[in-house]
Structure 1
Amino acid sequence: MDNVISADGTSIAYDRLGDGPAVVLVCGGSVDRMSNAPLAALLAENYTVYNFDRRGRGDSGDADVYAVEREFEDLDAIFAAAGGSAHLYGTSSGAALALLATAAGRPVNRLALWEPPYFLEGAEGRPASDTASIYRAFVAEGRRDKAAEYFMAEVVGMPAEFVAQAKASPWWPAQEAIAHTLAYDATVMDDYSIPVAAIKAIHQPTRVLTGGVAWPWMAQSNEALADLLEDGSHVVLAEQQHNVDPAVLAPALTEFFGS
């Protein structure tokens, strides 16, 4: 593990693996860099992979006030460590962050997005537009467990039985520890619509990847997103759910980044 210092003084931890063109990995909500560790190990066969903890989670620091722009600056520091530019991969809400960072002018060579959770107009299941406020209120009240439970049940839509099992599992305390970052991802997602204005600023080749058994609303929005991008493409990975198998995803990313 190593670290870089972001523009606001926050320490951002990362693992560097492999040798070759640089690839930066961005994790999604409710997880830290360990969620991308198996993928990083596979990509390291062909690339130098920078797998980092987003601020507020894992071994990275945080600041008193959150703004999406601070995460852009965190990426600036990682890109500098990677030699100035890199391919960029993001998963779930981390894919939305990667998209916005690219639109904001970060030095991205190629952009790959795994199932960014956007909703088309009228799609069922869209989370409440004030989810960031809901998470912040729970955390401020000392109810981190309720923030994590709300994410799983109301935003992801997991059944009550799954949530109950999760709360009794050994990894639940880790969910509570990073519950404050759920508001960060909700801020990134805004109202969960495709950010059409931002997309117009993306000129890099961009691959949107979706699982073959994705939720219908996600499959539809991912295809629509790819169509809106200037140089976008959409690939479906057969039989994959949102929790994608790294052994299936890594070859798809290797093909795209190497093309």
Structure 2
Amino acid sequence: MEMQTHSRDGTRVNYERTGDGPAVVLVSGAMSTGATMAPLAAELSGRLDVTVYDRRGRGRSGDTAPYAVEREVEDLAALIEALGGEASLFGVSSGGALALRAAAGGLPVRRVAVYEVPYAMDDATARAGAEYRERLTTALAQGRHGEAVELFLRLAGLGEEMIRGARQSPMWAGMESVAPSLAYDDAVMGDNRVPRSEIASITCPLLALAGGASDGWWHEAARAIADAAPDGRYGTVEGQTHMAEPGMLAPVLAEFFAR
């Protein structure tokens, strides 16, 4: 059932809740809405009380200027309060960075899990992230939303032919509509490095995951996250890449969150 709450600054936060068990909020990454996480929520709902939501600036949630990462943490605080005052968090990609920030920020988070947060593990990748930020900021300031989407897709590793195909797809208009929120995900990622001191303040159990078929640097980043946490562990999801299948991811998460 579709519901809504309001963040500290009055922004509407749209969410849906399903299932029964310990409460878990799923945090989506860039270019996505709560609907993106709905298939995973369905897989988890047999063992967990699962909430998916539209992050601010996308879907049916509102947006209030000026943006700050702290406002997105407050959005999660409002959601957790609406769910009864305590919940676990699971974040995918840059949504994982937001989940980590929320857990480190003193929210009543019981457990936190993340999947393939794209932190840079070498200087060249960090520089590429900084260059992306500069070009993204310019494109969005000039209202060139299509260019902003292309910049993100290139950063994600898509080739030019695939990007041209995406431009011709029915999904392109929707992608352009959420392009301004790319700046939000970029801000959540900070300096693109693993925020070890921040993660060290997370006192709840933490699980950092990578896909078994993903490149090695995804595993390096997941291990670094787990190693930085007082109660962290690293795991893999067999046969998966960055776009993990819900049916493969769900058993790992259910076992962690249902404890």
TM-score range, shorter-chain basis?
A: over 0.9
Report Cα offsets for 1:51-72 as digits up to 9, x if no partner. Answer: 1000000000001211000001
User: If the length of structure 1 is used for normalisation, what is the TM-score?
Assistant: 0.96
Distance, in Å, in 2 between the alignment partners of 1:188 and 1:132 is 12
- Alignment coverage as a number of residue pairs: 258
Paired amino acid for 1:39: L
Is 1:93 the counterpart of 2:120? The answer is no
Q: Which residue of 2 aligns with 1:28?
A: 29
Paired amino acid for 1:117: P
Task: Give secondary structure in 2 for the equivalent of 1:128.
Answer: helix
Asked if structure 2 preserves the Cα contact closer than 8 Å seen for 1:17 and 1:40, the reply is yes
Distance, in Å, in 2 between the alignment partners of 1:126 and 1:247 is 35
Distance, in Å, in 1 between the alignment partners of 2:144 and 2:197 is 36
What stretches of structure 1 move > 6 A for 4+ residues in a row? none
Task: Give secondary structure in 2 for the equivalent of 1:29.
Answer: coil
1:127 Cα offset (Å): 3.0
Asked if structure 2 preserves the Cα contact closer than 8 Å seen for 1:132 and 1:182, the reply is no
CA RMSD, Structure 1 to Structure 2 (Å): 1.4
Kindly report which structure 2 residues correspond to 1:109-120, keeping only aligned pairs within 5 A, or say none: 109-120=110-121
Q: Which residue of 2 aligns with 1:166?
A: 166
Q: Which residue of 2 aligns with 1:248?
A: 248
User: If the length of structure 2 is used for normalisation, what is the TM-score?
Assistant: 0.96
Q: Percent identity?
A: 43
Q: Which residue of 1 aligns with 2:216?
A: 216
1:137 Cα offset (Å): 2.3
For structure 1, which runs of at least 5 residues remain unmatched after alignment?
A: none
Task: Give secondary structure in 1 for the equivalent of 2:184.
Answer: helix
Asked if structure 1 preserves the Cα contact closer than 8 Å seen for 2:92 and 2:114, the reply is yes
Kindly report which structure 2 residues correspond to 1:1-259, keeping only aligned pairs within 5 A, or say none: 1-122=2-123, 124=125, 127-129=128-130, 131-153=132-154, 155-259=155-259
Asked if structure 1 preserves the Cα contact closer than 8 Å seen for 2:132 and 2:151, the reply is no
Distance, in Å, in 2 between the alignment partners of 1:105 and 1:127 is 32
Task: Give secondary structure in 1 for the equivalent of 2:130.
Answer: coil
Moved more, 191-200 or 92-101: 191-200
Report Cα offsets for 1:123-171 as digits up to 9, x if no partner. Answer: 6475332544432321221210000000001x21211111111111111
